[in-house]
Amino acid sequence: MREYTVAIVGIGMVGKEMVRVLQERKFPVQELRILARRERDEEIDGRVYHIVPASVEAFEGVDVAFFAGTEGAKGASQQFGWEAVKRGAVVIDNGQDFRMDPRVPLVVPEVNPEALRDHQGFVANPNCSTIQMVVALAPLHRAAKIRRVVVASYQAVSGTGTAAVRELEAQVRAWAEGRDFPNPEAYPHRIAFNLFPHIGSLSSEFSGYYSEEVKMIRETRKILGEPDMAITATCVRVPVFNGHAEAISVQFERPISPEEAREILREAPGVEVVDDPKDALYPMPIDASGEDLVYVGRIRKDPSAENALDLFVVADNIRKGAALNAVQIAEKMREMGLL
């Protein structure tokens, strides 16, 4: 088995999870280079890793370079991504900079692995909220062709990064101790015991939409190969540490029953159906956190529209929504003889 020189750029929540996933899945790493803004040592699960400053030269001899940006992260792949490709690396970028670039496949391995065949050395990881939605919707789309999607997401603070997790912790601690809430820094409002429909920046392309909502629309169309699919999204930040949830209404071109949808999803890769509402069994972030799968439940007929179903989808946004999906892309490329 060939072994690879692997670089991870960024060692925040996603970068650390990439280290874990590579180890857990026994990806054949000969050498691991972790690059960041400054040189230092970082401990991950009891093991100390030496971090070196990112530079063009640091990509010499690298076979696979993972760029580990979190939601909205920009810059690193813009500065180094194509330079790494020039030096022979395959770049798998978790940031948003090149997702809609026509040169760059946007890939969820369970959904559109065939897109990897056209790669030019650079592959994009979709947004976390998009990944879990398309894993659930793609098998249904293949069976009954989707006409319209309406989604509301409930997104955990880990998607913003470590500072947001600490902010929620500090606010909850202040409340528990009877102190005044500290002023918010990671967010425009207090997140503890609150939520707000604001993720990203206001879009100039879709009036009144924030950028996270636009990502869900545009990325889903690209991944499913449906540039005109009708999609609308409302993305909400909630006081949950980890795990994104989505309430999705889907209208199809033909009738599809909840029973048929459950059967399709039970056979779908990367999906687990958790759908027994009479016993209070349905997907929840607390159960999805730390897990690899996308959980789907509350599958029911939508009485307000023809040929429509409602479902609830939950996944670990740091794992399947970022680190795991990126490593699965590299695994799929090896399997396809592209790496």
Query: How far, CA to CA in Å, does 128 sit from each of 91, 159, 169, 176, 229?
Result: 18, 8, 22, 31, 20
Buried b (16+ CB within 10 A) or exposed e, 175-201: eeeeeeeeebebbeebbbeeeeeebbe
Written as one string, the DSSP assignment of 72-89 is T--SHHHHHHHHHHHTTP
Closest by CA to 324, choosing from 280, 299, 288, 300, is 288
Q: Which amino acid is at 259?
A: E
Q: Which amino acid is at 26?
A: K
Number of residues in the chain: 339
Closest by CA to 246, choosing from 322, 314, 174, is 314
How many CB atoms lie under 10 A from the CB of residue 37? Answer: 11
Six-digit token string for 284: 């929840």
d(CA 210, CA 302): 27
d(CA 283, CA 245): 8
d(CA 319, CA 167): 21
Q: Which of 119, 128, 141, 235 is catalytic?
A: 128
How many CB atoms lie under 10 A from the CB of residue 229? Answer: 17
d(CA 86, CA 83): 5
128 assigned to active site: yes
Written as one string, the DSSP assignment of 3-30 is -EEEEEE--SHHHHHHHHHHHHTT--EE
Number of separate helices (H) and strands (E) present in the chain: 8, 13
Q: Which of 119, 141, 235, 244 is catalytic?
A: 244
Q: Which residue reads 């790669």 in tokens?
A: 119
Question: Sign of the CA dihedral 233, 262, 267, 143?
Answer: negative
Q: Which residues are catalytic?
A: 128, 244
